[in-house]
Amino acid sequence: MHIAVAAPNLTGRLHSTFELVSRLESEGHTLTYLCDAEIAKKIKKQGFSYVEIPAINFNFIDVNQPKSHSWFHKFQFHFSNLGKHYRRGKRILHLDEYKQIIDKLNPDMVLVDVELHDLIFTALASKLPVVLFHTWFSDKIDINLPPIRTAIIPGKGFSGSKLGISLAWIKMRLMVYGRLYINKLRFNNYRRGVFRNYAMEIGFSRSKMMLNTLPPLYSFKDLPILTMAMKEMEFPHTPEKNLRYIGPLVFENRVGVHSDEETERRLAEVLSIKKRLNKKLIYCSVSSFVKGDVSFLKRVIEAASGQNDWLLIMTLGGNIEPALLGEIPKNVFLFSWVPQLKVLENADCSINHAGINSINECLHFSVPILAYSGKYFDQNGNAARVAYHGIGIRGDKDVDNSTTIKHNISRILEEPTFRNKMIEMHGNYEDYRQRKLTPFLI
């Protein structure tokens, strides 16, 4: 089977698709990426096939709308130009170009990230089977399942009761609809509107499209969705029928990761110290997607200060100047970037912002987690699941002082229950790695 695959230019998500493509190729399929020139550079380094497409325009605004701030003028312009908005939107979003490229490639199936609506709809327009994928846990509206954006743990306190979870869902949906209608009033809803009208044009029922509480503009009721998460890491509930768990996809054979000779030399020295002196290695990584919290990182460094049995490797993601962190203890080592898999392979504890890709890589190497949610998108829900399943501890980056952080690290390093729970969860992860992916596509 020839499968076209499309992924966003987000490091973790793209790396996950490398493993997905690699495994599907090993099962006898031919895969071709649909990607813009920037993503193509990364895909080419890995040796995968691709076809270049115009870059997706996520920030589409109708540049022809009046510059006047008068609500009446905008209202008058908008409703007198509905047809032009749609035709212009199709052109600016390259929908016809995408369809032509897909038709020429003529794959048997299109496997596409849930956020890439441009390619989802054009593949549907070409009457091709479409399978979606994402890296998130379930966000089904359910009285047993809190919204993924919240830090609620089922059964814990009032917020974790069925009533509390129901109220959280009401609040979340009100926020989504409120944002939608505010955008409509401001006439800032063009991208969503173009897709809605395009769906009608190609005969795709809008009743199958739902507003989403995560970044995608829409969810889809009937299209199959592969999630690169484990069902065993979920809160207890009955998932949607179209959601298929394929497990974390960690691609070890990365080419062109952020590293250089000096980084490799310094990292080798730290790992040598750990092995030679039998020290505990703590790896603190801030998200590459959101600028790190300087105050929080300073507290982590203070927590490690004076702990002679600990080594702390901290990555700054290219967003933070080391000088902002003050005096650095001898057992703390700062890097802009490191080859993360190499560090995690040797780590005893991972401090991260509860991004799903970091959690999946910890599962890969059985590293217990100290989760300090960055409080964006699904990070709160991920951190809640880490705590619920006992594979780590959940802290609060805005509240915990250095003493609390030190205590949390000590617990993970000294109490065997966290590593034992992580080893147990790693066993589930290995089961997923042994499964063939082809049956999930059918």
Per-domain boundaries in the chain = 2-251, 261-432
* 118 CB-near residues (< 8 Å, 6+ apart): 56, 93, 94, 95, 98
What pLDDT shows up at residue 222? 86
Contact of 154 with 236, CB cutoff 8 Å: yes
pLDDT per position in the chain (442 positions), as tens?
999 999 999 888 999 999 999 999 999 999 999 999 999 999 999 999 999 999 988 876 654 555 555 544 444 444 455 456 677 788 888 899 999 999 999 999 999 999 999 999 999 999 999 999 999 999 899 999 999 999 999 999 999 999 999 999 999 888 877 776 766 665 566 777 888 888 889 998 878 877 766 666 778 888 999 999 999 999 999 988 999 999 999 998 877 666 688 999 999 999 999 999 999 999 999 765 556 688 999 999 999 999 999 999 999 877 788 888 889 999 999 998 899 999 999 999 999 999 999 999 999 999 999 999 988 889 999 999 999 999 999 999 999 999 999 999 999 999 999 999 999 999 999 999 999 999 999 8
Distances (CA, A) of 220 to 60, 235, 338, 394: 22, 22, 37, 32
Q: Which residues pair with 430 in a beta bridge?
A: none
Give the angle subtended at the CA of 309 by the CAs of 300 and 401, to the nearest 5°: 20
Return d(Cα 300, Cα 321) in angstroms, integer. 16
* Residue-level pLDDT at 193: 80
Q: What is the CA radius of gyration of the chain?
A: 23
Q: Which residues are 350's β-sheet partners?
A: 283, 369
**Phi, psi at 271, each rounded to 5°:** -65, -30
Tokens standing for residue 390:
């006992």
Architecture of domain 2-251: 3-Layer(aba) Sandwich (3.40)
- Statement: 261-432 belongs to CATH 3.40.50.2000: yes
What pLDDT is attached to residue 76? Answer: 43
In sequence order, which residues have a C-beta less than 8 Å from that of residue 324 and are 6 or more positions away? 294
Q: Which of 98, 112, 129 is nearest to 194 (CA)?
A: 98
Q: Rounded CA gap, 379 and 12, in Å? A: 14
Residue 185: per-residue pLDDT: 61
pLDDT at 407: 98
pLDDT value of position 282: 98
Q: Is there a common fold for 2-251 and 261-432?
A: yes
